[in-house]
Every structure is written in C-alpha cells, then in structure tokens.
Amino acid sequence: MNTVYLDNNATTRVAPEVLEAMLPFLRDFWGNPSSMHSFGGQVRKHIDNARRQVAALLGAEEDEIIFTSCGTESDNAAIASALAANPCRPHIVTTRVEHPAVFGLCQRLEKEGHQVTWLSVDTRGMLDLDEARRAVRDCTGVVSVMWANNETGVIFPVEEVGKIAKSAGCAFHVDAVQAVGKLPVTLRQSTIDFLSLSGHKLHAPKGVGALYIRKGTKFTPLIVGGHQEMGRRGGTENVASIVGLGAACELAGKHMGEEQTRGRGLRDKLERALLAAAPDTRLNGHPEMRLPNTTNISFEYVEGEAILLRLNELGICASSGSACTSGSLEPSHVLRAMGVPYTAAHGSVRFSLSRYTTGGEIDFVITHLPPIIKALREISPFGRKGR
Amino acid sequence: MWNYTDKMMDHFLHPRNVGEISDADAVGEVGNMACGDALKLYLKIDKSDTCITEAKFQTFGCASAIASASALTELIKGKTVEQAEKITNDDIAAYLGGLPKEKMHCSVMGQEALEAALAKYRGSSPAPREEGKIVCTCFGVTDTKIARVVREHNLTTPEQVTHYCKAGGGCGGCIGEIQAIIDEVWRKERERKAQRATPRKYLTNIQKIQLIQETIEKEIKPTLRADGGDIELIDVAGNTVIVAFRGVCAGCPASGVTIAAVVEKKLREFVSPEITVREAQG
C-alpha cells in the first residue's frame, strides 16, 4: 500500500538533498567543532555555512541566528529571555490559538504570577488588532504571536501586531514554525525581535530548530553551559542536523514560488472537491489569509478519529482536531477559540500538503474520502439530512 | 496513535448490527454530540421468554465507540433480559480484547445505553442514574455517577474517573471536587466495614479466634495473594496474634512493614483495637 502523506504540518519527510548533505557529518566528519585540532575544527565552517543559509531564507544576518533543538526550545528561549530582560514588565500578550509550545509556556508563566492577556480570534480565526492595541500596556514585557496557525493555516498580520508591540516598547516574538519556507520572510525590514523556526517542518530532520534574535536585543540563554552559539545556547552542536537545516532552508527558498502556485492549486482542488462532495461540510479558517498548503475541513455528524482511522486503512495520513485523537476529551482549542460548534470541531480533518504531494495523491483522497464520510454518517444517529 | 487490538479494529471497520429497528421494543439513548460521542441502541425482545432477538445501534463517536457498540450488540443478542442486565462495560472491553484506559468511557457508554434500553423495556425510568448534582459541567456528569464508577471500578484518582466517565476531562475545574467524591466514597466504605465488625463487644476466646481467622481470610489474604504472597494464622495468645508469611512474603525484608501496615491495621479495625501482631520465629 502506498502512503499518501498529507500531514506535513505535523512533520515532513527529510529531503533527499538534505540527507545527502548530512551524511558526511555522521559518517566521516564527526569531530567537535569546538576542538583545537583541525579534525574537529574543520566542521565549524559547515555550521557557519548553515547559519548563512538560514539567515538568507529569513532575510537576516548570520549573527542573528542561533541553533536550538526544536521550535519549542526556540519559543521558550525567546519568551523567557524577553521577560528576563525586563523584570519590571511581567505582562505577556499572546493569543488563544497558539501552538502548545507557546500556549503551555504562557499558561505556566500565568500560574507563576505573570499576567497574560489571551487575544481572541473571530470565526475565521483572525485577530482583532484593536483588541491587541488595548491589551498592550506599560508593563507588557513581550507580545508573542504565531505567524501561521498549525491547525488551520490562518496567517496573522504579524507586522501590524509588531507595530503595536513596538509602540509600547516591548519585545515582539513570532512563532514562525509553520510559516518559514511557505511564506516570504524579510526580517531586515521587520518589527520582529525574536522568531522561532523548526527543522522538521521544512524537510530537515527532527531535533533541530533555530531562533532569530534581532541584533542589539538583550538575550539571556535558556540552556546555560559552554560558549557554543556565541554564548547564547550551551551544548555541543548537533552538527549533522544543523547542516541539514541549512540545506533545507536553501531548498525552501528555491521552492517557495512553487508552494504558492502548484501547492496552492492542489490544496484548492482538494478543498473544493471535499466541500462539494458532502453536505454539512465546512471550511475552518479564513478562506484567503491562509498558508497555501493547509486545509481544515469539518464533516458534521461524524467524529474525526473514526475518519482518520478509515483513511489510515487506505494509507492516507491526515490529522484531526477531534478530542479523541489527542487523548484529551476536549476538541481543538484553536477551533473552539474560533467558535466552531462542538459538533463540527469533533469532525474536523486537517490535510497539509508539501512540495512532494502529487496530483494523483490529491485525486486519490477526493475519490476515497466522501464514501468514508457517507459510511460513518450512516452509522451516526445524527444528521439524517446530511446523508 | 492508540494501541487498538485487531478485534477492536475489525469491529470498527466492519461494525455488526448497524441501523435502526423501526418497531423496537426498547430504545436506549445516551451521550450527545457536544460530548463527542453518542449511542442509540434498539432492541427487539420476545415477549414470551424475554429473549433479545435483535439488537441494532447507531453511534456518533471515535473508533472505539463504534467498536464498543458493535461488541455490545453481539454480546446481548440471544440473551434474555435478565442475562443481558448482568453485562458490564468490562465485558464489552474484554470482548474487544481490551481498550486503552483513556477509552474505557466508550465501553461505559455501551453499558449505559443497554441499561437505559432495559429500563425502558421494564417500564421503569432509568432516572436514578441521572439524579444528583452536576459536578463536571463540561460533560454534564453528576456526583452520583462519579461515585458509582468509583465504587464499581475501584478507582482512586480523578484521572481514572475521567477515563471511565469523562468527568474532569474538559476544563479540569472540577478535579478537586472529584477527588473529594473519591475520598468520600472510600471513607464511607471503610465506615461500613468497621460498623459490620465493631458490635461484638464481648468475645469469647473462641469467637475472637474465629473472627481473627475470618478477617485474615476475607480482608488480608486477598491483598497479599494479589502480590503473590500468603499468610497463615499460627497462634493467638491474648491480644497477641502470631502469623507466618508464605509465598513471596516469606523472608521478605519488608514483611515487618507488611504486618504493621496491613495485618495489624485490619485486625484492629475488625476485631479489637488492642491486637498486636508478631511474625512467627524460625
């Protein structure tokens, strides 16, 4: 059975070029870049090169990039550092739809005594900038907002939010884990002070991420240890993965246009076909202000886990905001923040494409998903009109 | 991904007895869409011998909810109402080769739909189960229901309660109240046991030895045997009880603790507060 992988917002395949770039550093050049001998020291220039590649994709300077272990670490480091830099500004502004990396951290900080303002979103998942303006105050230490939502793909107007943060003189962090590689980023002309990204969302391996720290921004390391990463992140560098992340960023830059045209075309085709194929079906998220690779569709009267496991039988990989898929009993906090009714949130399915997605795979899903929905609705005691 | 058994996946992918019975003799309906799962059970029951001749269902829910409903209908078909009444959620889970603990509430939903249908058949309302104060507002679970799952499944933590009836699994605001219900259930249980044991004020020596023997058999042995150990009563001298440990308990360096913690506590509770326990020498 072929795997039809449409869960790229969860993780992506390692690009073959990325793997090739990494292998020498697992096989031959396994030295420590901090060593005083050339066997180790020769590795250093490859890390520097990777830093250049990441900086190039972000429109930033090399010395503004540090490598981390993942997007979550980057988020934690940025927010913790912003708060540490200004102890007299303990207030945090973030949104109700953040990824758990930021959401969970801010919940904990709230428990520890930080005031947190959770910005709401409308039914299409968009922020109200006036609400953001009202939220920011003199004691706000950091505004942290995601660039693109992992569940719905909805894109926030980060520069607009950044202006609000800057007007109050507080640090601005952006979780860009889903945006980098899919949307053009130019940090040189930006209000962003900290930006997080993750390797495995853009065809690099898991276990590597990066954090952009604007030049001149006060930074306190989260992981304290050696002098690595200009003293900003202790721990021996994950050389092969860092090289892989650099290569992945360079590839992402090359394929960016393709994501916006070919990728978007496939996504739109899938979305249109699924919305048309079954009644009582809705799109979650703003129809336009969205990543080109993501679609989140609710099928009323059926439950997401049941859909996923039936798709799994056909080799189709997707994900759901249903409660049952997470082990928690509440459906997705993102869909609930958008006011999606419980009935629709339980039956939500997210498809996220990549540049490796083919037209044939999209056709396969368009053929096989509607009968699954029909079969599950026939089992369901609800929604007779939906059949 | 959940660790589902092959049998569960089979019942999810090929559910048995899906549908409605238009002239059903009993219908049981539990859950709702907001909760994320719901089950409607239809029964056809033979009036002469109360045999369930046909069972069908409709489910809105995850894979294990669908499989649990399918398993339930298979379990009750051909059984009399009296036999079907004895089926529990554990039977449903066992039929499917087990369910992940987070999914036990799916099998509970099966049991509840069956109870609701049978109650309707007998003409009584299934009300007693629904009474009580709502504790978990997210899922509309009452204190009565929480206390029932705690007792029936021997639960000790709010997390376990969530697995069985969902209570506490939403906003989590009622976790403290659930813990209080758990504590109350077990406090009452202890009181009940103590009451059963205390009235015997004046015991003859023989009565006392019998009561000690009985307490060891009923209250202590099951606990030790569950861990592969055993206990034997050797002698009773006044209020001193001499016992020997067998199985894995024999020669266990922690057996001093076992005596104090389990045996003595139980004997003091059920026989007399003056009892002391010693382990037989050699």
Q: Answer yes or no: do B111 and B23 share one domain.
A: yes
Among the candidates A234, A251, A268, a domain finishes at: A251
Any CB–CB contact under 8 A between B66 and chain A? Answer: yes
Q: Which contiguous run of DSSP H or E holds residue B10?
A: helix B6-13
Kindly identify which residue of chain B lies nearest to residue A375, measuring between CA atoms: B13
Contact A329 B170 (CB under 8 A): yes
- The overall average pLDDT reported for chain B is 85
Q: Answer yes or no: do A238 and A372 share one domain.
A: no
Q: Answer yes or no: do A211 and A303 share one domain.
A: no
Q: Answer yes or no: do B81 and B143 share one domain.
A: no
Strands of B52-60's sheet, edge to edge? B26-32, B37-45, B52-60
Among the candidates A212, A229, A251, a domain finishes at: A251
What's residue B260's pLDDT? 58
Q: Which long-range contacts (CB under 8 A, 24 or more apart) does B170-177 make?
A: B170/A329, B170/A330, B170/B136, B170/B137, B170/B138, B170/B139, B171/A330, B171/B138, B173/B137, B174/B135, B174/B136, B174/B137, B177/B135, B177/B143
Q: Answer yes or no: do B11 and B62 share one domain.
A: yes
Q: Answer yes or no: do A202 and A67 share one domain.
A: yes
Q: Answer yes or no: do B189 and B222 share one domain.
A: no
Among the candidates B196, B214, B249, a domain finishes at: B196
Q: Answer yes or no: do B272 and B178 share one domain.
A: no
Partner residue opposite B59 with nearest CB, options A305, A327, A380: A380
Count of the separate structural domains present in chain B: 3
Q: Tell me how far apart the alpha carbons of residues B29 and A328 are, in angstroms, rounded to a whole number.
A: 24
Q: Which of A38-47, A206-215, A324-333, B67-76 has the lowest mean pLDDT?
A: A324-333
Kindly identify which residue of chain B lies nearest to residue A379, measuring between CA atoms: B58
Residues of chain A found within 8 Å of residue B166, distances taken between Cβ atoms: 329
Q: Which residues of A are catalytic?
A: 324
Any CB–CB contact under 8 A between B62 and chain A? Answer: yes
Among the candidates A251, A279, A305, a domain finishes at: A251
Per the model's pLDDT, the better-predicted residue between A188 and B134 turns out to be A188
Q: Answer yes or no: do A220 and A352 share one domain.
A: no
Structural domain boundaries enclosing B212: 205-279
Is the pLDDT at A314 greater than 70, yes or no? yes
**Among the listed residues A259, A361, A258, A268, the one whose alpha carbon sits nearest the alpha carbon of residue A317:** A361
Q: What is the pLDDT of residues A351-367, one digit of tens each?
A: 999 999 999 999 999 99
Q: Answer yes or no: do A71 and A179 share one domain.
A: yes
Residues of chain A found within 8 Å of residue B38, distances taken between Cβ atoms: 381-382
- Chain A with chain B: Cβ pairs closer than 8 A: 75
- The overall average pLDDT reported for chain A is 95
Give the angle A335-A99-A173 at the CA atoms, nearest 5°.
125
At residue A318, the 3 state secondary structure works out as coil
User: What amino acid is encoded at A106 in this protein?
Assistant: C
Q: Answer yes or no: do B216 and B180 share one domain.
A: no
What's residue B257's pLDDT? 65
Kindly identify which residue of chain A lies nearest to residue B171, measuring between CA atoms: A330
Query: In this structure, is residue B1 part of a structural domain?
Result: no
The CATH number for A361's domain is 3.90.1150.10
Q: With bands split at pLDDT 50, 70 and 90, how would you rate the model's confidence at A167?
A: very high
Kindly identify which residue of chain B lies nearest to residue A323, measuring between CA atoms: B36
Q: Tell me how far apart the alpha carbons of residues A361 and B218 are, in angstroms, rounded to a whole number.
A: 64
Q: With bands split at pLDDT 50, 70 and 90, how would you rate the model's confidence at A113?
A: very high
Q: Which of A96, A379, A384, A387 to mutate to test the interface with B (most CBs of B within 10 A)?
A: A379
Residues of chain A with pLDDT > 90, as a percent, come to 91
Query: In this structure, is residue B166 part of a structural domain?
Result: yes
Q: What is the pLDDT of residues B199-209, one digit of tens each?
A: 556 778 888 88
Q: Answer yes or no: do B77 and B149 share one domain.
A: no
Partner residue opposite A342 with nearest CB, options B9, B34, B61: B34
Helices and strands (DSSP H and E) totals, chain B: 13, 8
Count of the separate structural domains present in chain A: 2
Q: Answer yes or no: do A213 and A354 share one domain.
A: no
Q: Answer yes or no: do A237 and A337 share one domain.
A: no
Q: Is the ipTM of this complex over 0.90?
A: no
Q: Tell me how far apart the alpha carbons of residues B237 and B34 are, in angstroms, rounded to a whole number.
A: 64
Q: Which of A241-250, B146-155, B217-226 has the lowest mean pLDDT?
A: B217-226
Any CB–CB contact under 8 A between B34 and chain A? Answer: yes
User: What amino acid is encoded at A164 in this protein?
Assistant: I
Structural domain boundaries enclosing A180: 16-251
What's residue A199's pLDDT? 98
Contact B36 A329 (CB under 8 A): yes
CA dist A225 → A221, A252, B147 (Å):
9, 32, 51
Q: What is the pLDDT of residues A261-286, one digit of tens each?
A: 999 999 999 999 999 998 899 999 99
Q: Which contiguous run of DSSP H or E holds residue B44?
A: strand B37-45
Q: What are phi and psi of A61, to 5 degrees?
A: -95, 150
What's residue B265's pLDDT? 84
Q: Answer yes or no: do B97 and B149 share one domain.
A: no
Among the candidates B84, B104, B126, a domain finishes at: B126
Residues of chain B found within 8 Å of residue A305, distances taken between Cβ atoms: 62-63
Q: With bands split at pLDDT 50, 70 and 90, how would you rate the model's confidence at A386?
A: very low
Q: Average of pLDDT values for A81-96?
A: 96
A contact set with B (CB within 8 A):
301-306, 309-310, 313, 322-325, 327-331, 342-343, 346, 378-382
Q: Which of A36-40, B25-29, B228-232, B247-251 has the lowest mean pLDDT?
A: B247-251
Q: Answer yes or no: do B12 and B105 share one domain.
A: yes
Q: Tell me how far apart the alpha carbons of residues B64 and A324 are, in angstroms, rounded to a whole number.
A: 9
Q: Answer yes or no: do A100 and A172 share one domain.
A: yes
Q: Which contiguous run of DSSP H or E holds residue B37?
A: strand B37-45
Q: Answer yes or no: do A77 and A215 share one domain.
A: yes
What's residue B269's pLDDT? 83
Q: Answer yes or no: do B143 and B102 share one domain.
A: no
Query: In this structure, is residue B22 part of a structural domain?
Result: yes
Beta strands in chain A (DSSP E): 4-5, 65-68, 91-95, 116-119, 140-146, 171-175, 194-198, 209-213, 281-283, 294-299, 316-317, 319-320, 348-352
Q: Answer yes or no: do B29 and B115 share one domain.
A: yes
The CATH number for B174's domain is 1.10.10.1100
Query: In this structure, is residue B78 part of a structural domain?
Result: yes
Q: Which contiguous run of DSSP H or E holds residue A164?
A: helix A158-167
Any CB–CB contact under 8 A between B33 and chain A? Answer: yes
Is the pLDDT at B282 greater than 70, yes or no? no
Q: Answer yes or no: do A136 and A216 share one domain.
A: yes
**Among the listed residues B71, B73, B84, B3, the one whose alpha carbon sits nearest the alpha carbon of residue B42:** B73
Q: Answer yes or no: do A272 and A223 share one domain.
A: no
Q: Tell me how far apart the alpha carbons of residues A335 and A365 are, in angstroms, rounded to a whole number.
A: 23
Q: Answer yes or no: do B217 and B139 share one domain.
A: no
Residues of chain B found within 8 Å of residue A381, distances taken between Cβ atoms: 29, 38-40, 58-60
At residue A257, the 3 state secondary structure works out as helix
Number of Cβ within a 10 Å radius of residue B82:
9
Q: Answer yes or no: do A151 and A295 share one domain.
A: no
The CATH number for A190's domain is 3.40.640.10
Among the candidates B173, B196, B219, a domain finishes at: B196
Q: Which of B3, B33, B101 to mutate to test the interface with A (most CBs of A within 10 A)?
A: B33
Kindly identify which residue of chain B lies nearest to residue A325, measuring between CA atoms: B1
Per the model's pLDDT, the better-predicted residue between B220 and B251 turns out to be B220
Q: With bands split at pLDDT 50, 70 and 90, how would you rate the model's confidence at A385?
A: very low
Partner residue opposite B36 with nearest CB, options A301, A303, A381: A303
For residue B231, list its beta bridge partners.
Answer: B245
Q: Tell me how far apart the alpha carbons of residues A195 and B175 are, in angstroms, rounded to a whole number.
A: 37
Partner residue opposite A331 with nearest CB, options B13, B36, B58: B36
